[in-house]
Amino acid sequence: MKTVKVVAAIIKAVNENGETIIFATQRGYGDFKGGWEFPGGKIESGETPQEALKREIIEELDTEVSVGELMDTVEYNYPQFHLSMDCFWCQIVRGNLVLKEHEAARWLTKDELNNVEWLPADITLIEKIRNLLSMTR
Ligand SMILES: Nc1nc2c([nH]c(=O)n2[C@H]2C[C@H](O)[C@@H](COP(=O)(O)OP(=O)(O)OP(=O)(O)O)O2)c(=O)[nH]1
């Protein structure tokens, strides 16, 4: 099976109650249309994962992010391909998260993470994020 290398941004911020919130986007097109995901996309040849992620976030959201620690690498078998997805913690440097390709977006607290229909590959990742956020606050 072919492997598709993807990078995704777990963009983190803090809301007015001091809770950590995470930015989720809904796919606007393609096979997974309507599913929720972390913004990002395929790594192009010659790019580091971090470079690919910065490029994708500018393309998709017109926003510059700083790419922090690798949170997890998701390995998931879809019927048509194997997904290998590096997920990095990110913070906004400048920009207003303009939805250029996505249908919708939401900021979610840890208790709201289950309120959207995540893509199949993201389910275990969401559990890990919830656990991490529960330990901090
Ligand atoms: N960005 C992103 N992609 C995800 C997530 N979960 C998940 O299964 N994917 C899958 C969906 C796609 O098959 C692939 C992402 O590649 P992409 O965003 O370039 O997808 P695409 O097929 O729309 O790209 P394109 O060829 O049209 O440019 O990874 C996620 O959380 N974020």
pLDDT in tens, 38-68: 999 999 999 999 999 999 999 999 999 999 9
* CB-side neighbour CA atoms (13 Å) of 72: 15
pLDDT at 137: 52
Q: Which atom of ligand 1 is nearest to the CA of 121?
A: 8
Is the distance from the beta carbon of residue 38 to the nearest atom of ligand 1 less than 6 Å? yes
Domain residue ranges of the chain, discontinuous segments joined by + = 3-136
pTM: 0.95
**Paired residues of 84 in beta bridges:** 5, 75
- Sign of the four-CA dihedral 108, 68, 129, 135: negative
Q: Among residues 5, 13, 6, which one has the least CA distance to residue 90?
A: 13
Statement: residue 34 has pLDDT above 60: yes
Q: Among residues 70, 6, 88, which one has the least CA distance to residue 43?
A: 6
Q: Which atom of ligand 1 is nearest to the CA of 37?
A: 31
ipTM, two decimals, is 0.94
Task: Pull the structure tokens for residue 89.
Answer: 């913690």
pLDDT at 136: 75
Statement: residue 114 has pLDDT above 60: yes
Residue nearest atom 16 in ligand 1 by C-alpha distance: 41
H/E segment holding residue 10: strand 3-14
At 70-111, the pLDDT tens digits run 999 999 999 999 999 999 999 999 999 999 999 999 999 999
pLDDT at 135: 87
Q: Which CATH number fits domain 3-136: 3.40.640.10, 3.90.79.10, 3.40.50.300, 3.20.20.80?
A: 3.90.79.10
Pocket perturbation via mutation, ligand 1, pick of 37, 56, 117, 118 by most ligand atoms within 8 A of CB: 37
